[in-house]
Amino acid sequence: MATSNPILKNFRSADRPDRRAEEGDHMTLTGTITKTISLLVLLGCIASLTSTGLAAWIPGHRGRGPYLLVTRTFAACFFGAIAIVLLTLWKKWWSPLMAPIFAIVEGIALGIASAAIDVRYPGVALQAVSLTVLMCVCLLVAYGAGWIAFTTTFGKKLSVAIAGVVAYCVGSLLLMLAGARGLPILAAGIRGGLVSLVIITAAGMVLIATCDAAVQRTSEGKPKYFEWYAALGILVSLVWIYYEMLEALSKARRTT
């Protein structure tokens, strides 16, 4: 299951070579939950402040200059957050520092995306947040009740599915840059809705797989910093679900 989310890849062999967990200094489920909540609160506060401020700023700043400023800031934060995740994959024991930085940087990116879409389609951001929370609660309840069970075979199939989704999105982006039009990933209506539904489902399964991997690792005596590492993996999955919800709702508004 760890291969389903890049942040948890090679979880079993990710210990720092010169560092071993001592008695009372190992990963716990309670610690992971606490750190996940703290990261969510930090990201939510940054995103809310950014979105509120930008929504008030946009109406009075039209034109190419402000547009480029907003889009470049979003791109810098979005790709900066990806770089932070990749750095954490390389230096996993840096996760207590990298996870909060990711929450701040990604919070700015989420706030910009939410404000930009909400100005065009009022109420979409709140709907996306609500649907993301509802979906995650339902998935976690189902997982806790044992209705969703992960096996090694299922984990491999999920990894293949995620690789397919990523390849599809990258291919669509390249085609779009080449001037292609009418791509399902961008289209509104039934085609676009089905694509979004598939991607959202995959993202939801990745979230549960990430949680399952974190639960499994708590019984293996992993070092304390793995709580931040697991929390970061869960946060990455939640951010992915929110982005997809935002995109799906935007497509739905374009059809009305």
Residue 92 neighbours by CB distance under 10 Å = 21
Does residue 67 belong to any structural domain of this protein? yes
- The whole-number pLDDT of residue 137 equals 85
Does residue 204 belong to any structural domain of this protein? yes
- The whole-number pLDDT of residue 76 equals 92
- Residues 218 and 94: their CA atoms lie apart, in Å, by 19
- The whole-number pLDDT of residue 255 equals 63
20, two tokens: 């071993």
Distance of CA 202 to the CA centre of its chain: 12
Does residue 19 belong to any structural domain of this protein? no
12, two tokens: 């079993």
Does residue 154 belong to any structural domain of this protein? yes
In tens digits, the chain (256 residues) has pLDDT values of: 333 455 545 454 445 544 544 445 788 888 888 999 999 999 999 999 999 988 888 776 676 777 788 888 999 999 999 999 999 988 889 999 999 999 999 999 999 999 988 888 888 888 889 888 888 888 888 777 776 666 666 666 666 666 666 666 666 556 555 655 555 555 555 566 676 777 777 788 888 888 888 888 887 778 888 999 999 999 998 998 898 888 888 877 776 5
- Residues 33 and 35: their CA atoms lie apart, in Å, by 6
CA dihedral over 230, 231, 236, 237, signed as positive or negative: positive
Tell me the HSE value of 129 on the side-chain side, using a 13 A CA sphere.
16
Distance of CA 122 to the CA centre of its chain: 23
pTM of the model: 0.79
User: Structurally, how many domains does the chain consist of?
Assistant: 1
- The whole-number pLDDT of residue 91 equals 87
Does residue 134 belong to any structural domain of this protein? yes
Closest CA to 202 of 255, 244, 232, 249: 244
- Residues 69 and 198: their CA atoms lie apart, in Å, by 33
- Residues 17 and 68: their CA atoms lie apart, in Å, by 45
92 near 14, Cβ under 8 Å?
A: yes
**Residues whose CB falls within 8 Å of the CB of residue 207, separated by 6 or more in sequence, listed in order:** 136, 139, 234, 237, 238, 241
Does residue 39 belong to any structural domain of this protein? yes
- Residues 42 and 243: their CA atoms lie apart, in Å, by 18
Does residue 219 belong to any structural domain of this protein? yes
DSSP 8-class letter at 148? S
229 near 7, Cβ under 8 Å?
A: yes
Q: Phi, psi (5° rounding) for residue 22? A: -100, 175
| Domain housing 247 | 2-8+25-254
How far from 98 is each of 6, 15, 228, CA to CA, in Å?
15, 16, 9
112 near 77, Cβ under 8 Å?
A: yes
Does residue 234 belong to any structural domain of this protein? yes
**Residues whose CB falls within 8 Å of the CB of residue 123, separated by 6 or more in sequence, listed in order:** none
- The whole-number pLDDT of residue 229 equals 93
